[in-house]
């Protein structure tokens, strides 16, 4: 089986005399990108790990001492490969001699652990980690379901316990629960609930789980399809927060009833309050003026769900996120016109950001089959915080699609070097470009993967080096050298 190895970012620091510095820099760059070095590193990585395991290191430093320029080519490659191999062998040996830990800067794990760690990372941060790339969302979900099965049936006890704890942590806030419900199929939701139930186990008080199951049966009996996703979100929140010391049933039921009350589902509320078990957690009052049901938390069992996590994502984003739509930056000067034509703006403010994010995906790929983890650049261009949840848009009007096509044709018309290029040709040649999006303090840096077509960028009649549209929160700098 051919193995996949990823090096997220390389940084080389060279000391040389001023007379030959530029020439030496070019020579080293050529060696670093050479097929020979890539092949030898790949062979070393193949020998270190099997196709069934993954070794992830956040950082690896090597130091090459004095290398004569005339011997640079053979000795640089030989020393790089040797030192990388030695350090990786040392790191792996340390891991195998220590106990498994859920969080570690250097981690050796199976394919199933890797998938679930990537899922948890996405639920918390809204993006996938740099070391995990999906070929398509359906394949991602297939891998998740296989990993759930592995945790339940085949994983070592210490590993399965750590993985369950990570999933619980990722879903303990409303952000994580909502992201799960918004971005994944019912099969994934059901599998997640099953995993959380098994994780709760003895930690859950019997009466809390009994109340949870009774409420679930009431909802299913009422068959209110309109509320299923919201109820699933709250169900996940409850199961992720349950503990032996203080079950979250009170806060969970309160949130449930608030949602039902907001939707004026009287029959469901009546069924809840007829249950002796549920009534022991939640009381009922009738306000004479409005005749509405209001719930009061039992004072002896009050608990809050896990609060929203603070935005600690900036440090993680600083390492960069791999994206597949880096060329979208080329369309930036045309976006105010597109959003205005689609009636997504009020004065200079972008109001309908979910629709705007969907339009940008359609602009690049010509379809709406997307997930939030593919939209980081879209979010930045729409002034949306990277961790903010988005709702998926599944349909555009014919008028909106036409406005997108008009934008593409306008780009081609203004960029004379493209000549007779079609809109799809522009998409495939420039917009669908891989890149790396990195947070630099209060700005963003977009690094775009190069292509032979990039010679046409010399005739681009507008600038993309620095961008801050009226509604954007931060400056975006582009490196398309």
Write the pLDDT tens digit of every residue in 214-263. 777 776 676 555 566 666 776 777 667 664 334 455 566 666 666 655 55
Question: How does residue 284 score in pLDDT terms, banded at 50, 70 and 90?
Answer: very low
Supply the DSSP symbol for 467. E
Nearest Cα to Cα of residue 235 among 295, 193, 195, 275: 193
Best-predicted range by mean pLDDT among 6-15, 426-435, 449-458?
426-435
Does residue 171 sit in the same domain as residue 270? Answer: yes
- 90-117 as b/e: b if 16+ CB within 10 A: ebbeebeeeebebeeeebbbbebbbbbb
pLDDT for position 283: 47
Summarize the confidence of residues 436-446 as an average pLDDT: 91
Residue 351 corresponds to which tokens in the numbers above?
Answer: 């109001």
| pLDDT of amino acid 444 | 96
Q: Are residues 176 and 235 in the same domain?
A: yes
Per-residue pLDDT of 22-62, as tens digits, reads 777 777 777 777 777 778 777 777 777 776 666 777 777 77
User: In the numeric block, which tokens belong to residue 37?
Assistant: 């070095």
Which range marks the domain in which residue 385 is found?
A: 316-479
Same domain, 140 and 69: no
Question: What's the alpha-carbon Rg for the chain, to the nearest Å?
Answer: 27
Q: How far apart are CA 121 and CA 166, in angstroms?
A: 9
pLDDT band, very low/low/confident/very high, at 290 (cuts 50, 70, 90):
very low
pLDDT digits (tens, 9 = 90+) for 53-87: 667 777 777 787 777 777 777 778 788 888 888 77
pLDDT of residue 60: 77
Residues 111, 109: Cα–Cα separation, whole Å = 7
Res. 417: pLDDT tops 90: yes
Alpha-carbon gap, residue 232 to 166, rounded angstroms: 19
Q: Same domain, yes or no, for 368 and 399?
A: yes
What pLDDT score was predicted for residue 146?
95
Query: Residue 48 CB: number of other CB atoms within 10 A?
Result: 16
Residues 85, 176 within the same domain = no
In the chain, the number of structural domains is 3
Q: 336: exposed, middle or buried (C-beta count within 10 Å: 0-12, 13-18, 19+)?
A: middle
Q: Does residue 450 sit within a domain? A: yes
- With CA atoms as reference, report the closest residue to 126 among 379, 473, 404, 359: 379
Assigned domain for 336 exists = yes
Query: Tokens 């620091």 map to which residue?
Result: 13
> How are beta strands 435-440 and 349-350 bridged, if at all?
unpaired
Q: Which of 83-92, 109-118, 396-405 has the lowest mean pLDDT?
A: 83-92
Residue 126 main-chain phi, psi, to 5 deg:
85, 0
Flag whether pLDDT at 408 surpasses 80.
yes
Average pLDDT rounded to a whole number, residues 314-324: 75
Listed residues 281, 307, 325: the one ending a domain: 281
Lowest mean pLDDT among 13-17, 117-121, 222-226, 363-367: 222-226
Question: 37 and 144 share a domain?
Answer: no
Domain match, 358 and 272 both:
no
Cα torsion through 360, 364, 366, 371, rounded to 10: -60
- Comparing C-alpha atoms, which of 43, 41, 11, 42 is closest to residue 28? 11
- State residue 205's pLDDT score: 53
Its pTM stands at 0.75
Do 181 and 329 belong to one domain?
no
CA 51 from centroid of its chain's CA atoms: 24
Q: Is 146 within a domain?
A: yes
Q: What does the mean pLDDT of the chain come to? A: 79
Q: Kindly state whether residues 325 and 275 are assigned to the same domain.
A: no
Dist CA 480 CA 460 (whole Å) = 12
Most trustworthy range by pLDDT among 31-40, 91-100, 221-230, 460-469: 460-469
Instruction: Flag the least confident range among 43-52, 92-101, 307-316, 353-362.
Output: 307-316
Is residue 338, in this structure, part of any structural domain at all? yes
Same-domain pairing of 273 and 194: yes
In the prediction, which pLDDT does 382 show?
97
Q: Which of 255, 281, 307 corresponds to the end of one domain?
A: 281
Higher pLDDT: 49 or 406? It is: 406
The token pair that represents 476 in the structure block: 């975006």
In sequence order, the 6+-apart residues with CB closer than 8 A to the CB of 143 are: 111, 115
Q: In sequence order, which residues have a C-beta less than 8 Å from that of residue 440 and are 6 or more positions away?
A: 318, 477
Confidence of residue 266 (pLDDT cuts 50, 70, 90): low
Count of CA atoms in the C-beta half-sphere (13 A) of 322: 13
Q: Is 440 helix (H, G, I), strand (E, B) or coil?
A: strand
Sole residue written with tokens 């081609």:
412
4 is a domain residue: no
Phi, psi of 448 (to 5 degrees): -105, 135
Provide the strand spans (E) within 288-390.
292-297, 321-323, 345-346, 349-350
Q: Lowest-confidence range among 60-69, 259-268, 278-287?
A: 278-287
Q: What's the confidence (pLDDT) of residue 201? A: 57
What is the token pair recorded at 141?
A: 């979900």
- The Cα 210–Cα 193 span in angstroms is 15
Which among 312, 314, 309, 336 is positioned nearest to 437, based on CA atoms? 314
Residue 360 confidence (pLDDT): 98
Distances (CA, A) of 169 to 102, 179, 199: 11, 14, 11
Give domain status of residue 293, yes or no: no
Between CA 372 and CA 176 the distance in angstroms is 12
DSSP 429: I
pLDDT for 367 equals 97
Q: Which candidate, 360, 404, 400, places its Cα nearest to that of 379?
A: 360
Instruction: Please report the pLDDT score of residue 136 as a whole number.
Output: 92
In a domain? residue 299: no
Phi, psi values for residue 216, rounded to 5°? -60, -40
pLDDT exceeds 80 at position 406:
yes
Residue 302's pLDDT band, with cuts at 50, 70 and 90, is very low
Tokens in use for 349?
Answer: 């403010």
Q: Which of 67, 97, 127 represents a domain boundary (last residue)?
A: 97
Determine, yes or no, domain membership for 52. yes
Residue 160 has pLDDT above 60, yes or no: yes
**pLDDT value at residue 428:** 97
Torsion of the alpha carbons at 371, 372, 374 and 377, rounded to the nearest 10: 150
273/279 Cα distance (integer angstroms): 6
Note whether 129 and 93 are same-domain residues. no
Residues 366, 219, single domain; the answer is no
pLDDT score at 263? 56
Q: Percentage of the chain with pLDDT > 90?
A: 37
321-325 average pLDDT score: 94
Assess contact for 316 and 125: CB atoms under 8 A.
Answer: yes
User: Which residues, in sequence order, are CB contacts of 244 under 8 Å at separation 6+?
Assistant: 202, 203, 204, 205
């Amino acid at each position: 089986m051919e193995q996949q190895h990823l090096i997220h970012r390389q940084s080389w620091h060279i000391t040389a005399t001023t007379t030959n510095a530029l020439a030496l820099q070019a020579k080293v760059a050529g060696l670093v990108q050479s097929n020979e070095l890539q092949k030898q590193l790949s062979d070393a990585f193949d020998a270190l790990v099997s196709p069934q395991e993954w070794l992830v290191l956040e950082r690896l430093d090597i130091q090459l001492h004095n290398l004569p320029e005339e011997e640079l080519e053979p000795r640089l490659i030989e020393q790089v490969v040797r030192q990388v191999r030695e350090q990786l062998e040392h790191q792996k040996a340390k891991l195998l001699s220590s106990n498994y830990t859920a969080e570690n800067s250097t981690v050796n794990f199976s394919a199933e652990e890797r998938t679930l760690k990537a899922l948890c990372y996405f639920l918390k941060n809204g993006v996938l980690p740099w070391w995990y790339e999906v070929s398509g969302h359906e394949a991602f979900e297939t891998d998740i379901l296989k990993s759930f099965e592995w945790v339940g049936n085949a994983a070592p006890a210490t590993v399965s316990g750590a993985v369950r704890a990570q999933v619980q942590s990722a879903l303990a806030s409303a952000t994580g629960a909502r992201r799960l419900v918004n971005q994944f199929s019912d099969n994934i939701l059901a599998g997640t609930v099953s995993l959380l139930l098994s994780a709760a186990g003895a930690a859950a008080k019997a009466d809390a789980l009994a109340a949870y199951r009774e409420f679930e049966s009431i909802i299913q009996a009422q068959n209110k399809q309109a509320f299923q996703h919201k109820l699933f979100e709250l169900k996940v929140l409850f199961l992720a927060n349950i503990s032996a010391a203080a079950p979250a049933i009170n806060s969970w039921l309160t949130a449930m009833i608030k949602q039902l009350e907001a939707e004026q589902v009287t029959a469901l509320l009546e069924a809840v309050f007829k249950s002796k078990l549920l009534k022991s957690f939640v009381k009922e009052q009738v306000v004479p003026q409005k005749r509405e049901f209001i719930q009061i938390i039992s004072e002896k069992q009050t608990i809050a769900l896990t609060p929203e996590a603070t935005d600690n994502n900036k440090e993680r984003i600083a390492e960069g996120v791999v994206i597949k739509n880096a060329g979208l930056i080329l369309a930036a000067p045309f976006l105010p016109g597109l959003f205005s034509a689609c009636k997504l703006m009020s004065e200079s403010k972008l109001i309908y950001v979910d629709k705007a994010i969907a339009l940008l995906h359609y602009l690049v790929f010509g379809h709406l089959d997307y997930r939030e983890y593919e939209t980081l650049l879209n979010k930045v261009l729409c002034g949306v915080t990277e961790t903010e949840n988005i709702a998926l848009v599944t349909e555009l009007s014919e008028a909106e699609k036409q406005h997108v096509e008009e934008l593409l044709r306008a780009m081609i018309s203004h960029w004379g070097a493209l000549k007779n290029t079609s809109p799809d040709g522009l998409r495939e040649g420039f917009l669908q470009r891989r890149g790396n999006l990195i947070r630099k303090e209060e700005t963003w840096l977009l690094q775009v993967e190069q292509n032979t077509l990039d010679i046409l960028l010399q005739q681009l009649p507008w600038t993309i080096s620095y961008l801050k549209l009226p509604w954007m929160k931060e400056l975006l700098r582009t490196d398309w050298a």
